[in-house]
Amino acid sequence: MTELKVKNGTFYVLEVNSEDWIFDNERSAIVSLKTIISEGRVHVDPEKVNILEVKIGANWQIKAIPWSKVAIELLKGGDKDV
């Protein structure tokens, strides 16, 4: 079994096609997406890719990270500061 400790009540979900990965920060999800695409591990349907921010607590909130923000992070380059 794999565990992920939720820091500050927030985690991130990377959805690619019908597969999901969970991360403890947004940058890690973005770097993972870049790795998945650059390594060609799966054919990526652009219509089926999302990075979601999930806030837990009394009232859970789920929101998609805007693609403009993802693009800026990708343009910064590299996988530093993950």
Q: What percent of the chain has pLDDT over 70?
A: 94
- Give the model's pLDDT for residue 27: 93
Whether the CA torsion 52, 62, 11, 75 is positive or negative: it is positive
**Sequence ranges of the domains in the chain:** 10-76
Confidence (pTM): 0.85
Would you state the pLDDT for residue 80? 56
3-state secondary structure 46-73: HHHEEEEEEECCCCCEEEECCHHHHHHH
Which residues, in sequence order, are CB contacts of 66 under 8 Å at separation 6+?
A: none
